[in-house]
Amino acid sequence: CSDNAPAAVGVLTSQPFTISRKYITFFTTGWDGKKPVNGKAPGKNKIELIRAQDNTVLFTANAPFRNTWGVERWDVSKHHGVA
């Protein structure tokens, strides 16, 4: 990560939704400002799938440490019907 990289901070939260498909697929990019450990960022730059009912974290995708877009795909089939 460059020393002159943007320092944006914040949280983006979606409206609750019901899982109705086998997979959730999305694009990720970005850095965390820390060196990756085993290819994963140890810090706070991440995407989480949280069950609305009890705030349990079901999946986490850490910063991929790249400037290009990559695909993240989670098999959420065992959570079908969960909001």
- Is it the case that residue 82 has pLDDT exceeding 90? no
* β partners of residue 61: 47
| Conformation bin of residue 66: beta by default, left when phi > 0, alpha when psi is -120 to 50 | beta
pLDDT of the residue at 9: 67
Contact 24, 80 (CB under 8 A): no
**Alpha-carbon span 25 to 52, nearest angstrom:** 19
pLDDT digits (tens, 9 = 90+) for 47-72: 889 999 999 999 988 877 788 888 99
pLDDT of the residue at 5: 56
Tell how far CA 54 is from the center of its chain: 19
